[in-house]
Amino acid sequence: MKYIATVSWQKKAEEAFTDNKYSRAHRWRFDGGAEVHASASPDIVPLPYSDASGVDPEEAFVASLSSCHMLFFLSFAAAKGYTVLSYEDQAEGVMAKNEENRTAMTEVILRPQIKFGGEKIPSAEDIDALHHRSHNACFIANSVKTEVRVASAPD
C-alpha cells in the first residue's frame, strides 16, 4: 500500500526569499480530493511569516496519532458489541529534547471522551483493554519513537 500527499508552496513575487522573510503558508492535497491549508507553527516561525489559521505539521502529527487510535478503538468496540455514541479526543503533543538532544515530539497524550449507548456497556477494564489493543494496532503509533499514552480527559 502507498499513500500520497502532495505538499505545494510558492514564493510570492514580492518576497526576496534569501532574507528568510517569506510566507510558510502552503497546501496539502490528498488523493481523495481533500485540500488543507497548512503553515509552519507560529510558535516556531513568527507571524507574519507563518499563518496561524493553517494546520502545522506538529498539529497534524498529533491529529494523525489520535485519529488512528480512535479508528481502531471504534472498530474493536463494534466487534465486541459495544455501541459508541460519540468519541472526542483533545490530544496534546509535547515538544522537548529527546535522548539525542534533538527537538522532537517526545510525547502525545490522548484524552478520549467516549459515550456508549445500547444494552451492553463496557466496564472500565473493558475500555482500558480496548485502548491497549487500539494502541498496539495503530499503524502511526507503531511507526514513531514518540511515547503515546491514553490519559483521562479533564472533566
Note the pTM of the prediction, 2 decimals: 0.92
The set of residues, in sequence order, having a beta carbon less than 8 Å from that of 78 and lying 6+ positions away, is 84
Can you identify the CATH homologous superfamily of domain 57-150? K homology (KH) domain (3.30.300.20)
Which DSSP symbol is given to 143?
Answer: G
Q: What are the cell numbers at 44? A: 516556531
pLDDT digits (tens, 9 = 90+) for 56-68: 999 999 999 999 9
Stretch(es) of the chain classified as CATH 3.30.300.20: 57-150
Q: What is the pLDDT of residues 88-122, one digit of tens each?
A: 999 999 999 999 999 999 999 999 999 999 999 99
Alpha carbon distances (Å) from 148 to 87, 134, 142: 18, 11, 10
Q: What is the rounded CA–CA span in Å between residue 154 and residue 58?
A: 22
What whole-number distance in Å separates Cα of residue 33 and Cα of residue 73? 26
